[in-house]
């Protein structure tokens, strides 16, 4: 069956909102690396410790958790699932601003990776239900535009926000903004799942008398 749907203004608005949240995702992910000149000396981190914080500790849990979060996205309310992930990583970003050393920064970092792993598989699931096949490529490209914007955004935070509030204040500020967006996302209506709509439509299709008669005849012949 060909996909004859057309994306609506609300779908594009939702795409923009998801992309903004994804920008926040990338900024929060890059923040420690961008703040290296302040964090390393103040917390007395070695190069190995800092490499673990920006690499293995985050990436390992982010990568493997993403598989399970994608499976959950197939079963739960997706807008609220994104809200949960956003709330988790934003709250822990704020907590990271209170770090006193390697361990107190590593533990939040681990769970930030788990929280952020919810975002992309769930967002892709929603976009596939909101956009027809002919414009899904555009929607995906627009969403992933958040990656370079987020990396640039983390550098802008360093350049303009850090001089005003310090590196810890940057973590508090971005964590607070993320929690605000999480509250908005929580109250947005869930996008209907297209395959469920198709199944309901198929089950609601009336069966003709001729089809019923043919089925009954086959049942008698082959019983």
Q: Tens of pLDDT along 96-140?
A: 999 999 999 999 999 999 999 999 999 999 999 999 989 999 999
Helix (H) or strand (E) holding 70: helix 56-73
pTM for this model (two decimals): 0.84
Report helix angle 36-43 to 47-54, nearest 10: 130
Question: What's residue 4's pLDDT?
Answer: 66
Q: What are phi and psi of 189, to 5 degrees?
A: -70, 140
Taking only the tens of pLDDT, the chain with its 223 residues reads 556 678 899 999 999 999 999 999 999 999 999 999 999 999 999 999 999 999 888 888 898 899 999 999 999 999 999 999 999 999 999 999 999 999 999 999 999 999 999 999 999 999 999 999 899 999 999 999 999 999 999 999 999 999 999 999 999 999 999 999 999 999 999 999 976 655 444 444 554 545 534 543 443 444 3
- Res 60: pLDDT: 86
Can you tell me the distance from the alpha carbon of 154 to that of 93, in angstroms, rounded to the nearest whole number?
13
Query: Beta-carbon neighbour count of residue 11 at 10 Å?
Result: 19
Side-chain half-sphere of 188: how many Cα atoms within 13 Å? 23
What's the token pair of residue 208?
Answer: 């003709």
Task: Write down the pLDDT at residue 209.
Answer: 45
Predicted pLDDT of residue 222: 40
The C-alpha atoms of residue 215 and residue 84 are separated, in whole angstroms, by: 49
Round to whole Å and give the CA distance between 15 and 127.
7
Alpha-carbon distance 164 to 172, whole Å? 13
Domains of the chain: 9-222 (1.20.1250.20)
């Amino acid at each position: 069956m060909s996909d004859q749907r057309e994306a609506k203004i609300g779908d594009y608005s939702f795409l923009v909102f998801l992309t903004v949240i994804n920008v926040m995702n990338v900024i929060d992910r890059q923040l420690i690396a961008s703040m290296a000149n302040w964090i390393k000396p103040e917390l007395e981190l070695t190069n190995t410790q800092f490499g673990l914080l920006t690499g293995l500790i985050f990436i390992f849990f982010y990568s493997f958790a993403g598989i399970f979060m994608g499976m959950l996205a197939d079963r739960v309310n997706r807008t609220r699932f994104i809200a949960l992930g956003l709330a988790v990583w934003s709250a822990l970003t704020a907590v990271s601003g209170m770090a006193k050393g390697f361990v107190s920064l590593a533990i939040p970092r681990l769970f930030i990776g788990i929280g952020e792993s919810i975002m992309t598989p769930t967002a892709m699931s929603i976009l596939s239900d909101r956009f027809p096949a002919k414009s899904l490529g555009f929607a995906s490209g627009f969403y992933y535009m958040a990656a370079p914007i987020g990396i640039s955004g983390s550098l802008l935070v360093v350049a303009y926000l850090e001089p005003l509030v310090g590196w810890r204040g940057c973590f508090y500020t971005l964590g607070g903004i993320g929690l605000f967006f999480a509250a908005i996302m929580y109250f947005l209506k869930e996008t209907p799942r297209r395959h469920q709509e198709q199944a309901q439509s198929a089950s609601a299709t009336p069966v003709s008398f001729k089809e019923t008669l043919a089925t009954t005849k086959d049942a008698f012949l082959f019983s």
